[in-house]
Chains A and B, each alone.
Chain A
Amino acid sequence: EDKVVQSPLSLVVHEGDTVTLNCSYEVTNFRSLLWYKQEKKAPTFLFMLTSSGIEKKSGRLSSILDKKELFSILNITATQTGDSAIYLCAVGGTGANNLFFGTGTRLTVIP
């Protein structure tokens, strides 16, 4: 059965801290792994990863995929209160837009 597991479930840090969010998966016909940020309602896209070992970066956020060990990490450096959100990991198979989502990691950044 396809599944995506995220850890930790929740995390509380102080501004300026660095956090690492984890995502492990078991999905048939893997095509891509995506990270989304959900602050209120609509998840917004962060990264899509398809190849192992290639880091994607956007500002203070970065992510990498390990297709051999079936996991990905999302790093956030110098956290800010605006980073407070639920971070969702999703994995997609080939030929369709049905993504399998993890239940998310709730990050709270305290001033």
Chain B
Amino acid sequence: QKEVEQNSGPLSVPEGAIASLNCTYSDRGSQSFFWYRQYSGKSPELIMFIYSNGDKEDGRFTAQLNKASQYVSLLIRDSQPSDSATYLCAVKGSSASKIIFGSGTRLSIRP
């Protein structure tokens, strides 16, 4: 089992709809959870992080964390074509300072 798992997609969502991206992790002691956006040929860019159970909102983005289910998600409201990218879930485990990345979900927003 991979430490951090994501559906590779592609996930196709119509413009203006809600895009829902999911991630599961195996280390029950994990402390912090991150969502990065990566455009093709570019470096990852941090868009959200969350460390407490529940929801965290930032503009059109909402991160949701459920530690009991070992599940973290990212919702993108009012999806725009510029949101088309690969979204990487990353988890800081219970030991050391390293972060484990999932393989990413490719999101495509269709006009």
Q: Do A and B come from one complex?
A: no
Question: Measuring CB to CB, which residues of chain A are less than 8 angstroms from any residue of chain B?
Answer: none
